[in-house]
Amino acid sequence: MITTRQKEIIAAAGKLLTHSGLSGLTIKNLAAEMKFTEGAIYRHFKSKEEIILTMLEYLASNMDERLSGLAKVSDPEQGLIELFENQLNFFSQHPHFVVAVFSDGLMESNEKINSAILRIVSVKMKHLFPVIFSGQQKGKFTTAITTEETIHLIIGAFRLQMFRWRALGFREDIKVSGMKTIQSVLKIIKA
């Protein structure tokens, strides 16, 4: 499906994106990052669009696998914590993918890329929904707002946290500050 080289290239692409924005993601820069020439990039991808799409699809399925692999816990609060610990662990180890996953900046007039971005969001929601829902049913989380509204709050807070992490140059420990955010959300949504 996806070769080792392709993985290396999309990792380099994420790195460029995160550090220099979309305008920094050029084939020239990508080749330099990979330490070979531009032509070689086209041995592995037929276009720049394909690189971005492959990156987004990889991140979506990677996230889906990771979160599917989480052991089922009966306590919804613990389930929520483990879900975000897993997410934060991934971004802590792969900070260069932050932009690709969260950036509105990749949203251009390109239909394919836009729907690939929305797929990532929906994967996240897919795993978040049952945790929140069961928490509400068990009387652990508030039912003052709907499941969707709760998810909206959580994802919004998480995204903003990642935005700030990047804006501040990845200086803070995202595992610590990210969990603080989740903890404060938890305090608020607990029934």
- Kindly state the smallest distance separating residue 36's Cβ from DNA, in Å: 3
Neighbours of 189 (CB within 10 A): 20
Q: Does 179 bind a copy of itself (CB under 8 A)?
A: no
Among the listed residues 166, 174, 178, 182, the single contact to a copy of itself using CB under 8 A: 166
Residue 185 binding target from DNA, a copy of itself, none, CB below 5 to 8 Å by type? a copy of itself
Residue 28 binding target from a copy of itself, DNA, none, CB below 5 to 8 Å by type? DNA
Q: Does 187 bind a copy of itself (CB under 8 A)?
A: yes
Residue 43 binding target from a copy of itself, DNA, none, CB below 5 to 8 Å by type? DNA
Identify the residue whose tokens are 């251009």: 108
Q: Which two tokens stand for residue 2?
A: 């996806």
What are the φ and ψ backbone dihedral angles of 141, each rounded to 5 degrees? Answer: -110, 150
State the number of binding residues for a copy of itself (CB under 8 A): 41
Q: Which among 145, 126, 123 has a CA at the least distance from the CA of 136?
A: 145
What are the φ and ψ backbone dihedral angles of 190, each rounded to 5 degrees? Answer: -65, 140
Q: Quick one: 5 or 159, whose CB is closer to DNA?
A: 5
Beta carbons of 125 and 133 less than 8 angstroms apart = no
Q: Does 171 bind a copy of itself (CB under 8 A)?
A: no
